[in-house]
């Protein structure tokens, strides 16, 4: 079953149109990548889904239209956005950040279990549980941002450039945790990445955006074999 469907989505910053015509389909429990150069519209596509930019066209989540809904309404439907730049709360501790992620939930036992799950997925965070967000390294902040999204109990997670600014070994650690999360949780994912090698460890299919349009969409195995993808995104 399709969980998220974008059809002919356009998006605007004030009068400036940034997405022209973007389509995307994410099956229940599936993971889809969005690749593309700087400025292609990857971040804006995630913002259109989570309601933080004005969009036209069709965005259906579990059959319901998201167009015109506020970000808090969309989050409450089960969509968690891990933004570029991470958005962890710097004055709060790691544990407080995790609790903030779960603020809409009443199932306290499951919340406690999910905190344990995050600390198991990211052992660095367990060591830093009483540290303030501002004291964390870039990698730890990224781990915390993903964990906070897990704590919301989402059906769909939007991940924006989770590798950005991280040392290659840290980026690899973060992505192997994302791959594990995907296998164990059944949370569907939209993965925006400049680093296609990392994205391909998680997603089954991907689309390439250029100036706000899809130029290529296909299964990961097919994309990996294409010269243009290898040259532009796989460094070879």
**Which residues lie near ligand ATP (CB under 6 A)?**
13, 16, 18, 36, 38-44
Q: How far is the CB of 132 from ligand ATP (least distance, A)?
A: 27
Q: Where are the alpha helices (DSSP H) in the chain?
A: 42-50, 71-76, 94-101, 108-121, 123-127, 138-151, 168-185, 196-199, 220-224, 227-233
Is the CB of 34 or the CB of 187 nearer to ligand ATP?
Answer: 34
DSSP state of 93: B
Cβ burial, residue 223 (10 Å; 0-12/13-18/19+): buried
- Report, in Å, the least distance between residue 9 CB and ligand ATP: 12
Q: Compute the least distance from the CB of residue 34 to ligand ATP, in Å.
A: 8
**In this complex, which beta carbon is closest to ligand ATP, that of residue 124 or of residue 194?**
194
CA angle 204, 45, 14 (to 5 degrees): 175
Q: Which residues contact 39 (CB under 8 A, 6 or more apart)?
A: none
- What is the 8-class DSSP label of residue 30? -
Distance (Å, whole) CA 229 – CA 236: 9
Please answer whether residues 154 and 77 qualify as being in contact, where contact means their C-beta atoms are separated by less than 8 angstroms: no
Shortest distance (Å) from residue 103 CB to ligand ATP: 27
Residue closer to ligand ATP (CB basis): 100 or 216: 216
**CB nearer ligand ATP, residue 111 or residue 202:** 202
CB of residue 163 to ligand ATP, shortest distance in Å: 12
**Minimum Å distance from CB 84 to ligand ATP?**
6
In this structure, are residues 5 and 25 in contact, taking their beta carbons and an 8 Å threshold? yes
Residues with Cβ within 8 Å of 48's Cβ and at least 6 positions away in sequence, in order, are 6, 9, 11, 19, 22, 55, 59
Quick one: 42 or 81, whose CB is closer to ligand ATP?
42
Pick between residue 13 and residue 221 the one whose CB is nearest to ligand ATP.
13
């Amino acid at each position: 079953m399709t969980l998220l469907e974008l059809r002919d989505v356009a998006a605007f910053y004030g009068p400036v149109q940034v997405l022209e015509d973007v389509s995307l389909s994410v099956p229940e429990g599936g993971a889809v990548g969005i690749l593309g150069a700087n400025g292609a519209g990857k971040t804006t596509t995630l913002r259109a889904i989570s309601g933080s930019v004005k969009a036209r066209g069709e965005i259906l989540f579990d059959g319901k239209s998201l167009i015109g809904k506020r970000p808090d309404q969309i989050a409450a439907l089960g969509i968690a956005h891990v933004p570029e730049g991470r958005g962890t709360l710097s004055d709060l501790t790691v544990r407080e950040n995790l609790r903030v992620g779960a603020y809409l939930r009443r199932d306290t036992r499951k919340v406690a279990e999910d905190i344990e799950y995050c600390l198991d997925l990211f052992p660095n965070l367990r060591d830093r549980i009483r540290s303030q967000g501002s004291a964390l390294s870039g990698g730890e902040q990224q781990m915390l941002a993903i964990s906070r999204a897990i704590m919301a109990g989402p059906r769909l997670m939007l991940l924006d450039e989770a590798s950005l600014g991280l040392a290659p070994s840290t980026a690899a650690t973060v992505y192997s945790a994302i791959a594990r999360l995907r296998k164990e949780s059944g949370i569907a994912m939209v993965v925006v990445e400049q680093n296609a090698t990392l994205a391909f460890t998680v997603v089954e299919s991907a689309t390439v955006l250029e100036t706000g349009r899809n130029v290529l969409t296909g299964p990961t195995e097919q994309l990996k074999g294409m010269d243009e993808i290898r040259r532009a995104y796989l460094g070879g």
